[in-house]
Amino acid sequence: MPTLFRGSAVALATPFRDGKVDTAAIGRLVEMQLAGGTAAIVACGTTGEPTTMNADERELTVRTIVKAVNGRVPVIAGTGTNCTQNVIDTAKRYEDIGCAAQLVVTPYYNKTTQEGLYRHYMAIAEATALPIVIYNVPSRTTLDISPEVLDRLAESERFIGLKESSYNLPYVMEKIRRVGGRLAIFSGNDDMVVPLMALGAEGVISVAANLLPAMVSKMATSYLAGDHATALDLQLTLMPVINALFCEVSPIPCKAGLEMMGLCSGEVRLPLVPISDCNREKLREALISVNVAL
């Protein structure tokens, strides 16, 4: 099975300015990512705040990222939501604009049963053209896709990957055992990159890479190259930054960090609010600890 990417992908934050998508800032962020060795870019993933954007804003963001990337790495469009038909409608908008795949989160709030999960994903697979990366993030959705459902979904070539953000390692190991190379596995947690790569993951879809693309890329590529010591050293070095990036609801700290670095505004949309002063200082100290000039 060909892998969409290996190494570090970034779940790119969507910059806003004065209440609008800042397309000029998107171009700067994309260039920073590519210069840092990022292997793929996720547009309008959870970190990109798609739930507070309307359909036209989301499409503008995806189109702007695809244009800025200009074919240099794969662009994965976030299409997931808790309404199956909305996922299908969104994915169809992106089919002919240059995306390599779609990232589809498990439904949240209304959630569903495991059988409902299977039918949700199969309905999307049958009605859309973009290959599908499944996104499992129980801390956000309170729903954990089972090994049995993944096993069933992996029978279809429409599913090419799993972004796994569970901290239940035995359960994750059973998923990896079940899919057996039929799905590429990517860590969805910046603090679990090396542990999941030790279990066979191909890399990470990262929040921290928004600020430190070269370090996150080196961590993942070092592990893939067999230099496990360097990968582990970088994982541990990054921990203060990772902890600071999740001291408040993501992407609040991520956006604050990008603003500190002069890359874009830290503007977020309600119900998200700007980072608190104490956590801003915590993030600043963490970034300085890894030699980021602020």
Q: Where are the alpha helices (DSSP H) in the chain?
A: 23-35, 55-69, 84-93, 114-127, 138-141, 147-153, 169-179, 193-198, 213-224, 228-245, 252-260, 277-289
Active-site annotation holder among 94, 163, 223, 255: 163
| Cis peptide upstream of residue 271 (ω within 30 degrees of 0) | yes
163 carries an active-site annotation: yes
Structure tokens at 33: 């990512």
Quote helix, strand, coil % in the chain, to nearest 5.
50, 15, 35
- Residue 184 pairs with which residues in a beta bridge? 161
Q: How far apart are CA 197 and CA 281, in angstroms?
A: 32
One-letter amino acid of 105: V
Active-site annotation holder among 118, 135, 218, 223: 135
Q: How far apart are CA 212 and CA 245, in angstroms?
A: 12
Q: What is the distance of C-alpha 64 from the center of its chain?
A: 18
Residues with catalytic function:
135, 163
